[in-house]
């Protein structure tokens, strides 16, 4: 899969811009404030129907305009699809595939699997467990057909049990919600555990190439104590959770930790640059895995790659990206900061004052 054409209107400082990315690597370079991150934000909007910088639509829409629109053409290797996403102040997000209105963004994600690495990406290690759960779930969404349905059912049971804990649902129904929650929860946890086991060797290999040191282990925590069935824990916690009104055990509390050979958590012991590279290794491992098991290529958005990486790490990272086989869109303030030699079909664009121009 590859994004072969992209157009944007009314997104931040991009009044109108269109360009055709390379199926391999596309470099967007230009001065600060020129619109490079906005281009990546636009591509992200096309695959996810939301921004990675804000949840507020009005911040995305160009000052003085009422809508922001992105279009793209994706080549899956078997067929081409036209994708479109429109954001309008105070209104629903319009999603179209081949001109047909879509109700959910998951169809976009299926056609344009995206990975994003920004200067803030180290927060995957340091930030809330929610970020690491969505990391795991991105992988499962793309490789396990039942995942999305299972996850939705789990959320419904969780809401019902929480409502029952707060006395809003007849207490006699509690065991029904608990059983459903436990069944879906066990299945989800098993899927995540298997996924982490599968990507661990890929992660270790990429990490060792990038950092030239031993990789930390990926430790998956499923969200309730070992050696206990989820149903047992739910029943045991019922009385105390009536006070909090919230279910404290289950996959919605899962986490993923990176632990070094010395037993230290990478989030506390790694430098910022190391954390960033560890996150790159995590994301590249997912992309590699998706390619291995489903033969699907991802599009990797790499914003401001050089920030905080020394020249050698930049070189090693670019090599790893090239060998991952992903389509890559990368931004930098200076064209010469990145070595594009590992790729044969590089495309280069200059971005200035919201105008994207191909450089030959
Ligand atoms: N809603 C908006 N309407 C118009 N312009 C906006 C809007 N929001 C932000 N901008 C402007 O868009 C410009 C592009 O920002 P962007 O973050 O894409 O720049 P960049 O090229 O990534 O810069 P840097 O190298 O500093 O990361 C900025 O100058 C910003 O002030
Ligand atoms: Mg930027």
Q: What is the pLDDT of residues 51-92, one digit of tens each?
A: 999 999 999 999 999 999 999 999 998 999 999 999 998 888
Does residue 214 have a pLDDT over 70?
A: yes
**Residue 189 Rama label (left phi>0; alpha psi -120 to 50; beta):** alpha
Q: Which percentage of the chain shows pLDDT scores above 90?
A: 87
- As residues whose CB is below 5 A from the ion ligand 2, the structure lists 37
Specify the pLDDT at position 167: 84
For residue range 167-178, what is the model confidence (pLDDT) as tens digits? Answer: 866 667 888 999
Stretch 303-319: mean pLDDT, rounded? 88
Q: Which ligand is located closest to the Cα atom of residue 53?
A: 1
Q: Which ligand is located closest to the Cα atom of residue 33?
A: 1
Specify the pLDDT at position 339: 84
Rounded distance from Cα 26 to ligand 2 centre (Å): 15
Distance CA(325)–CA(337), nearest Å, equals 21
Specify the pLDDT at position 111: 96
Q: Provide φ and ψ at 161, rounded to 5°.
A: -65, -40
Contact 17, 8 (CB under 8 A): yes
Specify the pLDDT at position 360: 82
Specify the pLDDT at position 309: 87
Rounded distance from Cα 54 to ligand 2 centre (Å): 14
Stretch 203-222: mean pLDDT, rounded? 97
Specify the pLDDT at position 171: 64
Relative orientation angle of helices 311-324 and 174-211, to the nearest 10 degrees: 120
What lines the ligand 1 site, CB under 6 Å?
12-13, 30, 32-38, 59, 61-63, 304, 333
Q: Which of 55, 61, 57, 53 is nearest to 90 (CA)?
A: 57
Three-class SS of the chain: CEEEEEEEEEECCEEEEEECCCCCEEEEECCCCCCHHHHHHHHHHHHHCCCCCCCCHHHHECCCCCEEEEEEEEECCCCEEEEEEEEECCCCCEEEECCEEECCCHHHHHHCCEEEECCCCCHHHHCCHHHHHHHHHHHHHHHCCCHHHHHHHHHHHHHHHHHHHCCCCCHHHHHHHHHHHHHHHHHHHHHHHHHHHHHHHHHHHHHHHHHCCCCCEEEEECCCCCCCCHHHHHHHHHHHHHHHCCCCCCHHHCEEEEECCCCCEHHHHCCHHHHHHHHHHHHHHHHHHHHHHHCCCCEEEECCCCCCCCHHHHHHHHHHHHHHCCEEEEEECCHHHCCCCCCCCCEEEEEECCEEEEEC
Pocket of ligand 1, candidates 37, 350, 355: which has the most ligand atoms within 8 Å of its Cβ, to mutate? 37
Relative orientation angle of helices 129-143 and 147-165, to the nearest 10 degrees: 140
Q: Which percentage of the chain shows pLDDT scores above 70?
A: 99
- The per-residue pLDDT of the chain, averaged, comes to 94
Identify the structural domains of the chain with CATH numbers, from first to last: 1-113+297-360 (3.40.50.300), 122-294 (1.20.1050.90)
């Amino acid at each position: 899969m590859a994004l072969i054409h992209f157009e944007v209107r009314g997104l931040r400082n991009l009044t109108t811009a269109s360009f055709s990315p390379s199926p391999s690597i596309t470099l967007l370079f230009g001065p600060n404030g020129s619109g490079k991150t906005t281009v990546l934000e636009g591509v992200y909007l096309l695959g996810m129907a939301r921004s990675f910088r804000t949840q507020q639509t009005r911040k995305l829409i160009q000052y003085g305009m009422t809508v922001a629109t992105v279009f793209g053409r994706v080549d899956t290797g078997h067929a081409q699809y036209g994708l479109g996403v429109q954001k309008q102040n105070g209104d629903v997000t319009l999603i179209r595939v081949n001109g047909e209105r879509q109700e959910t963004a998951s169809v976009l994600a299926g056609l344009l699997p995206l990975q994003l690495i920004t200067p803030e990406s180290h927060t995957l290690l340091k930030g809330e467990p929610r970020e690491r759960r969505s990391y795991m779930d991105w992988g499962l969404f793309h490789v396990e057909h039942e995942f999305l349905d299972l996850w939705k059912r789990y959320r419904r049971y969780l809401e019902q049990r929480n409502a029952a804990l707060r006395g809003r649902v007849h207490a006699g129904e509690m065991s029904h919600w608990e059983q459903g929650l436990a069944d879906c929860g066990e299945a989800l946890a098993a899927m995540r555990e298997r996924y982490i086991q599968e990507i661990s060797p890929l992660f270790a290999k990429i990490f060792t190439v990038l950092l030239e040191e031993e990789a930390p282990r990926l430790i998956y925590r499923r969200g309730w104590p070992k050696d206990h069935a989820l149903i047992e824990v739910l029943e045991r916690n019922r009385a105390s959770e009536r006070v909090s009104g919230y279910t404290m055990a289950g996959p919605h509390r899962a986490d993923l930790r990176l632990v070094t050979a010395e037993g230290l958590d990478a989030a506390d012991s790694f430098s910022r640059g190391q954390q960033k590279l560890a996150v790159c290794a995590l994301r590249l491992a997912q992309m590699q895995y998706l390619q291995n098991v489903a033969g699907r290529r991802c599009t990797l958005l790499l914003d401001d790659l050089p920030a905080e990486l020394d020249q050698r790490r930049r070189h090693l990272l670019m090599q790893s990206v090239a060998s991952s086989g992903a389509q890559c869109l990368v931004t930098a303030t200076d064209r010469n900061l990145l070595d594009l030699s590992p790729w044969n079909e590089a495309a280069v664009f200059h971005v200035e004052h919201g105008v994207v121009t191909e450089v030959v």
